[in-house]
Amino acid sequence: MASKRRGLPEINAGSMADIAFLLLIFFLVTTTMDVDTGIARKLPPISEEEQEIPPEIHAKNIYTVLINANNKLFVENEYMDISQLKEGAKAFINNNGRDPSSSENPEKAIISLQNDRGTEYMTYIRVQNELAAAYNELRNKEALNKFGERYIDLNKTQKKEIRKMYPQKISEAEPKNIGEDS
């Protein structure tokens, strides 16, 4: 006759499944998982008015930014280092007609961004960050001048007023093969 062990409970397949389930739950709860984050960007709201004819956009109101496969930045057909992009974008957006070949005013200024299919993701993100920083600095400066507070500290109505003065118009074209030398 087989002898029973004293003091140990009998383990069957059902209780093994329960233990495995509890261990699985334990590991799921205690394990941290990396969460991918994207670019915090909202699409413009759908216009309530039907626009049959799109507004005319003059070429001088478009700031062309291209990133080629070698991660070189070309702004207005000239090579530019990414570290210069923010200041260049600010000068373009805030031109207010001073330079006749540049934007008429911040409300009409549009930044056209296009990258090559071979552009590295980090380069693309750096360019995005510099363009967003240009708008943020212009909005902050205007908020300080107009309300005496930083843009982030303004109330909803004040922020809306500043955004109307400096609308963030970044047009992103579909990536294509821009080439290595352009």
Residue 166 has pLDDT above 50, yes or no: yes
In angstroms, the CA 163 to CA 159 distance is: 6
Q: What is the pLDDT of residues 86-116, one digit of tens each?
A: 999 999 999 988 888 889 999 999 999 999 9
Residue with tokens 């205007």: 142
59-133+168-172: which CATH architecture?
2-Layer Sandwich (3.30)
- Angle, vertex CA 154, rays to CA 127 and CA 166, nearest 5: 45
pLDDT score, position 27 = 81
Q: Does residue 79 contact residue 73 with C-beta atoms inside 8 Å?
A: yes
* Sequence spans of domains, the chain: 59-133+168-172
Nearest to 92, CA basis, from 174, 166, 13? 166
Query: Is the model's pTM score more than 0.75?
Result: no
Q: Does the pLDDT value for residue 139 go beyond 80?
A: yes
pLDDT tens track for 25-65: 888 888 776 666 666 666 566 666 665 666 778 889 999 99
Angle at 59 between CA 40 and CA 87, to 5 degrees: 50
